[in-house]
Amino acid sequence: VKRYLKQIRPEELKKAELPWYHLVYGLYQSELGKIAEAEEAFQKAFQCALDEQQVHLFESVVLREKIFSGRADEGALQSLEERLK
């Protein structure tokens, strides 16, 4: 993954590709334990998402990552509970 991410220049990506790049980059940074960098990338993914549906998809991916890595906090779980009501 690292090798492929290094080959990508975000400024050259199409508008539809950019949110996905930031999401994958954030997941990679999270896997490395670089939480601040991961959160920054996730925020970029949310900000440049094409629509609200994509934001929700990305939020669910990020929350799953946090749950599986053991980083889900009470606030994240409460937010999910509120959305499901």
Question: Which pLDDT tens digit goes with each residue over 4-61?
Answer: 999 999 999 999 999 999 999 999 999 999 999 999 999 999 999 999 999 999 998 9
Pair of tokens at residue 32:
């490395």
CA-to-CA dists, residue 1 to 4, 31, 61, 82, angstroms: 5, 11, 18, 34
pTM: 0.87
C-alpha closest to that of 54 among 42, 36, 68: 42
The answer to whether 49 touches 55, Cβ cutoff 8 Å, is yes
